[in-house]
A and B are shown apart, each in its own frame.
Chain A
Amino acid sequence: GAGVSQSPSNKVTEKGKDVELRCDPISGHTALYWYRQSLGQGLEFLIYFQGNSAPDKSGLPSDRFSAERTGGSVSTLTIQRTQQEDSAVYLCASSLGQTSTDTQYFGPGTRLTVL
């Protein structure tokens, strides 16, 4: 597709369940980012993938959060044993990963609600 896509667009789950959020970046983009946007807040960086390098996980809030990127393309963000404070919009973005032209393009996000 032409842009970054994310699925599902909305997810409602019960406390304690695991969830998986998917991101399809723009074709050819080597960099992929996950952010969390809580109600009324800015963007909180979670994790960054660049090509085949080890991901920058410095933003993950706890060990219940993990992410992988298969084949340098699709990424999945997994939240285990969800808590109510995990409720937020999870945004994915991709970029070319080149300094001179690096600009992030965002997906529409997944709104996660933990009951």
Chain B
Amino acid sequence: AQTVTQSQPEMSVQEAETVTLSCTYDTSESNYYLFWYKQPPSRQMILVIRQEAYKQQNATENRFSVNFQKAAKSFSLKISDSQLGDTAMYFCAFMKAYSGTYKYIFGTGTRLKVLA
């Protein structure tokens, strides 16, 4: 069975600095997808970034980028130039398609606080 581990329950970073959130997962599959979601205090989960496992190139979305290490089963999120609005819970998620069924496994989250 797949598992997703986020080993940092809480982190803080100064505004404008860079922070990296870690995520590791365990799977025997070769084709899958990985995601980072952000959940601000408003509770609405927002997709931050997505990575296809068959792509070697790391995904980037503006200030957000990932370091995808397939062999190590690691998928960390780097937030550059942190902003106060980045304060939120961040969830790492694994997705695999099985003959019409899509299984999503979420980590327990990292609470990030950006300090002014």
- Residues in A lying within 8 Å of B, measured CB to CB: 31, 33, 35, 41-43, 45, 48, 50, 53, 56, 89, 91, 93, 95, 97, 99, 102-109, 111
The answer to whether B102 touches A97, judged by C-beta atoms less than 8 angstroms apart, is yes
Query: Residues of A contacting B44 with CB < 8 Å?
Result: 106-109
The answer to whether A48 touches B102, judged by C-beta atoms less than 8 angstroms apart, is yes
User: How many pairs of residues, A versus B, come closer than 8 Å at their CB atoms?
Assistant: 49
Query: Residues of A contacting B115 with CB < 8 Å?
Result: none
B108 on interface, CB distance cutoff 8 Å: yes
Query: Residues of B contacting A99 with CB < 8 Å?
Result: 97, 102
Q: Which of B8-36 contact A (CB under 8 A)?
A: 33, 35
The answer to whether A91 touches B109, judged by C-beta atoms less than 8 angstroms apart, is no
Query: What would be 23 A-B contacts, judged by CB atoms less than 8 Å apart?
Result: A33-B104, A35-B106, A41-B108, A42-B91, A42-B109, A45-B105, A48-B101, A50-B101, A53-B100, A56-B101, A89-B43, A95-B102, A97-B102, A99-B97, A102-B33, A102-B97, A104-B47, A106-B44, A106-B46, A107-B44, A108-B43, A109-B44, A111-B43
- Count residues of B near A (Cβ-Cβ below 8 Å): 22
- In Å, the complex CA distance between A50 and B101 comes to 7
B95 on interface, CB distance cutoff 8 Å: yes
Shortest B2–chain A CB gap in Å is 12
Q: Which of A35, A95, A106 has most B Cβ within 10 Å?
A: A106
- In Å, the complex CA distance between A91 and B27 comes to 25
The answer to whether B102 touches A102, judged by C-beta atoms less than 8 angstroms apart, is yes
- In Å, the complex CA distance between A109 and B42 comes to 10
Beyond A89-B43, A91-B45, A109-B43, is A104–B91 a contact (Cβ under 8 Å)?
no
Query: Residues of B contacting A91 with CB < 8 Å?
Result: 45
